[in-house]
Amino acid sequence: MASIKRHASAEWQGSGKDGKGSLTTQSATLKDTAYSFNARFGDGKGTNPEELIAAAHAGCFSMATAFQLSGAGHPPERLHCDATLTMEQEGAGWKIAAVHLVLRARVPGIDATKFQELAAGAKANCPVSKVLNAAITLDAKLE
């Protein structure tokens, strides 16, 4: 069985609310990128884990959709996906409750029904969708 491993690391200093941290990815796309309580729960500078999960989901779903469309003989000209992640307070903690994907696509020669079917398949089967324990909704439209 084939496997792929990716690596990222986090460094944190200080308390949860007043501390600060940095994130680094194997690819160095993130290298000592700042994150903090204010970036996560407010409008402070830096990134946060939920923003990165939303980006990962948008990227994963877009690529999965491209594979689905291409496999059906309709390679896309353009796919644009926005992912909005919703966190909700649960007791004393928080949980990722939902992700809403909005896909706008330019796909020559495909009818709307087939497009919806393939987009729904990509949503259900992209690896990030599979790992999330959240409601995932999709608004997919052809341009």
CB neighbours of residue 21 within 10 Å: 19
Residues 110 and 60 grouped into a single domain: yes
- Per the structure, the count of domains in the chain is 2
Backbone angles phi, psi at 110, to 5 degrees: -110, 145
- Whether residue 56 contacts residue 23, with contact meaning beta carbons closer than 8 Å, is answered with no
What does the pLDDT look like over 14-69, one tens digit per residue? 999 999 999 999 999 999 999 999 999 999 999 999 999 999 999 999 999 999 99
- Please report whether residue 3 resides in a domain: no
Residues 80 and 99 grouped into a single domain: yes
Token pair of 9 as six digits: 């690391």
What's the rounded mean pLDDT across residues 101-128?
98
- Please report whether residue 1 resides in a domain: no
Residues comprising the chain, all counted = 143
DSSP string, 10-47: EEEES-TTT-EEEEEETTSSSSSEEEEHHHHHSS-SSB
DSSP helix/strand/coil, 122: helix
Number of H helices, E strands in the chain: 4, 6
- Please report whether residue 2 resides in a domain: no
Residues 64 and 26 grouped into a single domain: no
CB neighbours of residue 28 within 10 Å: 8
The answer, yes or no, to whether residue 116 has pLDDT greater than 90, is yes
105: which strand partners?
79, 142
Residues 33 and 80 grouped into a single domain: no
- Whether residue 96 contacts residue 53, with contact meaning beta carbons closer than 8 Å, is answered with yes
Structural domain for 125, as ranges: 49-142
Residues 114 and 69 grouped into a single domain: yes
Residues 17 and 64 grouped into a single domain: no
What does the pLDDT look like over 77-111, one tens digit per residue? 999 999 999 999 999 999 999 999 999 999 999 99
Q: How confident is residue 132, by pLDDT bands cut at 50, 70 and 90?
A: very high
